Amino acid sequence: MKLLIAGLATETNTFSPIPTGRLSFEQAMVTRTATEQPGNLFSAPLIEWRTAAEAHGWQVIESLTAVAQPAGPTVREVYEGYRDEILADLETHRPDIFLISMHGAMVADGYDDCEGDLTERARAILGGRAVIGLELDPHNHLTEKMISNATLIVSYKEYPHVDSPDRARELFQMAANTATGKVNPVMAMADCRMLTIIETMKEPGQGFVQAMKDAEGMDGVLSVSLTHGFPWADVADVGARMLVITDGDTTKATDTAERFAADLWSIREGLRGVYPDTATALDRVDRATQFPVVLADMADNAGGGAPSDSTYFLQEALDRGTKDIAFALFWEPVLISMCQNAGVGATMRVRLGGKICAFSGHPIDLTVTVRAIRENMSMKLGDTEMEMGTGVWLEADGVHVILSSERTQCFNPTAFTDLGLDITQMRALVVKSTNHFYAAFAPIASEVVHVRGPGIVTPDMTIIPFTKRDTNYWPRVENPFAAVAK
């Protein structure tokens, strides 16, 4: 058996002003030896696939892995170049199985559905008998082109995404069983007519994911995946969808997908987020008696394509004189080089944030002390390593700010502690993240508050200015199915 593995992944916020070009990928990961390096969210599946295939005695061909931090649309020739490199390997090696790690919400100039485009071209090369398997982030746009050309599609189940290696092992086993004739997978999709943030580590999302897991392996159901959708992309297929794979039973796949879609609809009110603004969130810190309170600056999440340099939250804390509060992560590569030049212990007058776009707010001038500098930092997301580059800890009279040279969200308390900041002495930690922070921060927090602020990753799904999809979805419309029925 011959297996070819690859990865091509970025998440596109079409409202982001930051282009995704070749440098964006090269700063994160562009390699043909991803399985020889520590696994990140998108390369960890390749490590699992190689390990499993070699245990079976299969031949493994490792193609390109190219990963970029979420931002605006990918430059056309960059996408086409990476895509064509993978397709050329398929043409040369003609594998029995092709497994690829993608995001599912990659948009390039001229391509609203990069995953569907690549899968369609791969199918044209490999023909109908080859097994094509995609592993996706659940914040994908599940399209008919993807489903009609792939043999198997599996999304991570958890948000935060701590389970990409687990899903990779499941996808490999289904692909192996398909290639050897043990199963005959068929896929069916149901549109949930919803667009919302689904946190899977607390109810009701947690119970919904458990029900998905419980259904797998029962009555011919091979896999159940929930597409949450990536709301900040103006494409036609954005939205929540259920995907079910069964062993040869199209009716069961369709019925099961529709049943889970109905179940998701039934818990929608429990998923409706109520997010305080920055002032109200800091009021909660003022009233708190146990610490640290963890506040999520959701709208400036680099993991959703935001600049990660907005100053609204920091300015509010400074205006009210809040002390013992720490912020992470501000994307400040130029300021970091200045701090490196000055050295640890230096006192400097700096201009922080407010650089990239209108949603970045106004820059803030502060007198700071450089408390620590550390190179080659990373944070854990589950069992995967997420790089943050050079980290710098600045203090301004009891206000602490962590800078990173790579634009990335704050996944883990180590972003603070690896620089020497004692978070047990902080009243509040403010993290630029939507929900990936939750798995690692919840155990050390007295309280976790998801906060609504200005930014291009707004949690308000009713105000996103879509032009390519219809607006008939919950919560923008209370009963979108009524309009569909007409």
How do residues 229-286 score in pLDDT, each as one tens digit?
A: 999 999 999 999 999 999 999 999 999 999 999 999 999 999 998 899 999 999 999 9
pLDDT in tens, 39-83: 999 999 999 999 999 999 999 999 999 999 999 999 999 999 999
Residue 2: pLDDT above 80?
Answer: yes
Q: Is 20 helix (H, G, I), strand (E, B) or coil?
A: strand
List the structure tokens of 220.
């011919």
Which residue segments constitute the domains of the chain, with CATH numbers given? 2-271 (3.40.50.2300), 278-451 (no CATH)
Q: Which amino acid is at 340?
A: Q
Distance CA(323)–CA(301), nearest Å, equals 23
Residue 399: partners with Cβ closer than 8 Å, 6 or more residues away = 314, 317, 318, 322, 323, 325, 326, 327
Residue 133: pLDDT above 90?
Answer: yes
Mean pLDDT of the 93-119 span: 98
Q: Which amino acid is at 469?
A: R
Q: Is the dihedral of CA 354, 439, 210, 205 positive or negative?
A: negative
List the structure tokens of 185.
């997978």
Percent of the chain with pLDDT over 90: 98
pLDDT in tens, 174-210: 999 999 999 999 999 999 999 999 999 999 999 999 9
C-alpha dihedral (260, 262, 263, 266), degrees to nearest 10: 160
pLDDT in tens, 354-384: 999 999 999 999 999 999 999 999 999 999 9
Residue 486: pLDDT above 60?
Answer: no
Among 119, 113, 130, 216, CA closest to 167: 216
Q: Which amino acid is at 174?
A: M
